[in-house]
């Protein structure tokens, strides 16, 4: 949450939870395409969320 531009509100919480879910599933070995299909999200969005989540962990 600290890396978000706007840290308060339901939307920020939802986005952070989604990013964490995607990152965890990716680290478990699932493909991004499978995750995108399961979460009913575009592949490109899932790909971006993984990149942002990894960057937030490094910072």
Task: Give tens-digit pLDDT for 1-56.
Answer: 556 666 677 887 888 889 989 999 999 999 999 999 999 999 999 999 999 888 88
The answer to whether 1 and 12 have CB atoms below 8 angstroms apart is: yes
The backbone region for 42, taken as left when phi is positive above 0, alpha when psi lies in -120 to 50, beta otherwise, is beta
How far apart CA 57 and CA 37 sit, in angstroms, is 25
The answer to whether 24 and 57 have CB atoms below 8 angstroms apart is: no
How far apart CA 29 and CA 1 sit, in angstroms, is 25
């Amino acid at each position: 949450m600290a890396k978000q531009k706007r840290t308060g509100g339901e939307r920020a919480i939802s986005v952070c939870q989604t990013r964490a879910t995607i990152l965890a599933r990716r680290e478990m070995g699932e493909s991004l395409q499978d995750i995108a299909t399961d979460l009913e999200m575009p592949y490109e969005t899932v790909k971006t969320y993984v990149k942002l989540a990894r960057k937030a962990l490094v910072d």
